[in-house]
A and B are shown apart, each in its own frame.
Chain A
Amino acid sequence: MLDFLEIFQRVFKKESVSSKKVAKERLRLVLVHDRTSMSPQVLEFLKEDLIKVISKYMDIDTEGLEVNFSKEDDSIALVASIPVIKVKRLSTS
């Protein structure tokens, strides 16, 4: 059963989400995937930089470090798994 609002929307051919928005969102997601899989080197550079920054604060297991893109419904997240060996004693004033 269609509710009143849906009938109303159909009559006036006004879709709740424009297909243009759907197209743009789908493209944005597929391109994140395309662009990263096209240049795994970029991920490698990112890993190296992450190691440099994080090592200032703690000892990490650089071999076990993993950086990946993870897709959830309609968004993409950069997920880093970084095994910590030891946190440095920071001499802050």
Chain B
Amino acid sequence: MGEVIVVTSGKGGVGKTTTTANIGTGLALLGYHVVLVDTDIGLRNLDVVLGLENRIVYDIVDVTSGNCRLKQALIKDKRFEGLYLLPAAQTKEKTAVSVSQMVDLCNDLEKEFDYVLVDCPAGIEQGFKNAIAGAHKAVVVTTPEVAAVRDADRVIGLLEAAEIKDPLLIINRFRPEMAKKGNMMDIDDVIEILAIELLGVIPEDELIVISTNKGEPAVLNQQSIAGQAYRNVSRRITGETVPLLKLDVSNGLLMRLRKLIGMG
């Protein structure tokens, strides 16, 4: 029996889809059987982040409405063993899938896979309710910004109300040099406010943009610091204890000068 994990955030644009793609690919690299489910009906993106957009024949609505069998709609990523995508429908409404259909779908998928990662749409409406319906666990993605943390707090409340216990936190696009100068909330600040367990911190990394351009998750790039952070997150999901990446910024000349004159 596999584990169904929903990746959610409330606010849009904080990196849910990038996170889903990278954790999923990371788990597949570790040898697990993984399926990524895109529930953002009407605004599907997980396919392009994974570079699988040209291989879609059937989608999630085709499966839930009985147009095709589940196996026909699953796209196998040819680059790695054990990674599959169930794409969202692009031309349907969010209401094209119901909560009970989603629960059935997750039940079917968890029989076949070690991990079922559900990429949730932004917002807290029907699409969100569907996405969390079949999940056992949740990963909440936020950035260290007021609006993103506020929405994360709201989503954590809704997850708890839906009895998805102990959601795990990913702080995305963290910029250690800004936090050090006191211009960005630190990891501890965000954890203190949201009061949930930290799953990982993903530093801001230009290579994420480049990897998304190419349709190759950053977790595959050994040079990417964000990729390294995602590899660590994937291992933590499997139960391994992996220490947080050291994100200390080395003191530049200016910083040392300031320290020298007591302004640091």
**What residues of chain A have their CB less than 8 Å away from a CB belonging to chain B?**
12, 14-15, 18-21, 23-24, 26-28, 30-31, 34-35, 38-39
Can you list 25 pairs linking A and B with CB atoms under 8 Å apart?
A12-B258, A18-B181, A19-B183, A20-B182, A20-B183, A20-B184, A21-B182, A23-B145, A23-B146, A23-B184, A23-B185, A24-B193, A26-B146, A27-B146, A27-B149, A27-B150, A27-B185, A28-B193, A30-B150, A31-B150, A31-B153, A34-B153, A35-B153, A35-B157, A38-B154
Q: Does B253 contact A (CB under 8 A)?
A: no
Q: How far is the CB of A21 from chain B (nearest CB, A)?
A: 7
Partner of B189, one of A24, A34, A38: A24
Determine the main DSSP class of A at the interface with B: helix
Closest chain A residue to B157, Cβ basis: A38
Interface contact A24-B185, CB-CB below 8 Å:
yes
Q: Which of the listed residues A21, A28, A31 has the most CB atoms from chain B within 10 Å of its own CB?
A: A31
- A19-B182 contact given A12-B258, A27-B149, A28-B193, CB 8 Å threshold: yes
In the assembled complex, which residues on chain A have CB atoms less than 8 Å from the CB atom of B179? 20
Contact partners of B1 in chain A: CB under 8 A: none
Tell me the smallest distance from the CB of A12 to a CB of chain B, in Å.
5
Asked if A12 meets B185 with Cβ closer than 8 Å, knowing A23-B146, A27-B150, A31-B153, the reply is no
Given contacts A26-B146, A27-B149, A34-B154, are A18 and B183 in contact (CB under 8 A)?
yes
Taking A14-B258, A26-B146 as known contacts, 14 extra A-B pairs with beta carbons closer than 8 A to each other, sorted by chain A number, are A18-B181, A18-B183, A19-B182, A20-B179, A20-B182, A20-B185, A23-B146, A23-B185, A24-B189, A24-B193, A27-B146, A27-B185, A31-B153, A35-B157
- The distance in angstroms between the C-alpha atoms of A38 and B189, with both chains bound, is 23
Complex CA distance for A20 and B149, rounded to whole angstroms = 13
| Cα separation A14 to B254 with both chains bound (whole Å) | 12
Contacts of B186 in A (CB 8 A): 20
Q: How far is A27 from B263 in the complex, measured between Cα atoms in Å?
A: 28
Expressed in whole angstroms, the Cα–Cα distance for A87 and B258 within the complex equals 64
Query: Please, which residue of chain A has its CB at the minimum distance from the CB of B158?
Result: A38
A34-B46 Cα distance, complex, nearest whole Å: 31
Which residues of A have CB within 8 Å of B154? 34, 38
The 4 closest A-B pairs by CB, nearest first: A18-B182, A12-B263, A20-B182, A19-B183
Determine if A31 and B263 form an interchain contact, defined as CB atoms under 8 angstroms apart: no
Nearest CB in chain B: distance from A8 CB, A: 9
Evaluate contact between A31 and B183: CB separation under 8 angstroms.
no
Residues of the A chain whose Cβ atoms lie less than 8 Å from the Cβ of B182 = 15, 18-21
Report chain B residues within 8 Å CB of A30: 146, 150
A-contact 0/1 string along B246-264, CB 8 Å cutoff: 0000000000001000010
**Residues of A contacting B157 in the complex (Cβ-Cβ under 8 angstroms):** 35, 38-39
Distance in Å from the Cβ of B78 to the closest Cβ of chain A? 44
Partner of A34, one of B145, B150, B183, B185: B150
Which listed residue (B181, B184, B189, B193) contacts A31, Cβ 8 A?
B193
